[in-house]
Structure 1
Amino acid sequence: MKTTAIVLAAGSGSRMKSSVRKQYMEIMGKPLLLYALEEFENSFIDEIILVLPAEDIQHIKENIIEPAGFSKIKALVSGGSTRYHSVRLGLEAASEDTEAVFIHDGARPFVSSDILERALDAVKEFGACVVGMPVKDTIKLSDENGFAKTTVDRARTWMIQTPQTFLYPEILDLYEELARRESELLDRGINITDDAMVMETLGKRKVKLVDGSYDNIKITTPDDIILAESIIKRKNQA
């Protein structure tokens, strides 16, 4: 099965409150983005599409991609105005003979070979899957005034991570349909927040939940940098 990874690194990272985009911030002496790219480079993945802000492409190519000697990066693609616009542009840049596509947030540095293998097995069997982990805390839904309204069954509640993995022709068609129906869906109050939701809203498959890892965190705030450093130190001591 030919596989493509789409690595999303086009976000602004506003919650990091830094003049440097979070995907380029150094963690333990290495740009955040490199961690995920190296994992995909060293895995069974056949090609990588990296989605970046347009103004950063040349800089990242010359200062991160080329020095690292990556051989699987097929294209550097300019991102869109939203996450799902960026995903669609990444999908359109993949090779036509791609069979399975792994859509991953570049701000998740600790994707692993085990996670990728589980996702591959699941997409072969079910056609669509996302990695995540069961929540550890009690989850409550609030009402419009901020009072607890409902307690969610924790046993059936997951924190969703990436990669989110799909059969390529199917998810490409769904993203193209999303582009055509974007205004209609927004008018109906449907705001697409991840790739699984595209399948859930427009597709005909159920999305299988697959174990990721509690280490597979997304770097969003300065506190996450501290947590990421502790994970790296633990991995280095293992």
Structure 2
Amino acid sequence: MTTKPASKAALTASTLDFLRDLVENNHREWFQANRNRYDAAKTELCGVVERVLVGMSEFEPLAKTAVKDCIFRINRDIRFSKDKAPYKSNLAFAIGPGGRHSGRIDYYVQIQPGNQSFLGAGMWQPTPTNLAKFRQEVDYNVDELKEIIEADEFKAYFPEASGEVMKTSPKGYSADHPEIELLRRKELFFIHRYSDKDVLKPNFADELIRGCRIIKPYCDFLNYLFFDEKEEPVTL
């Protein structure tokens, strides 16, 4: 009798152990001595990303998106940082058309031990133009957005809204506006957190797919608003 091999689309405890050890030994000499452990962790991550891409292709246009284009480098950019630790303490990837540099609202996954792993998506560091579009949509036609983010399934899976919020009202909007809480938001990014136990489950990739499917309407809403909506011609 043969034992069925472990799923290639799953993470193991060794990956989380590597990340924990990296936090305690964040320097080039240790990393190079443990390069085989990083390579093994990255291979596991690639398996998860591949499974997520296949599953999400049922509802996202990802046909030309390669696994390698989705995964972020573990090296940190320390040129302008006071923290000179050369490596990130997590593994991360983003799913969008063409990978992590799609230029659109995509789906971000971060794997970090200590129950800090999460799936997130939404408006993060928008350009002034896109933020203005968001506020105008909230002012003129908030119903579509609220229908998405206040749906029971959405709120149950993404209970946490992250991002910067203004303390005062944005220019052009009164403090008593009925949607002032949304208008004050400079970012509106939703997160679902996973415990280490969740991350190590054989079906973790499928759970990520489920989460992406739930938050897809919000991503679609923003992508249309920021990138796809055609400007109405001005008539004189």
Q: TM-score, normalised by structure 1?
A: 0.28
Structure number with greater Rg is 2
Q: Which has the higher strand share?
A: 1
Q: TM-score, normalised by structure 2?
A: 0.28
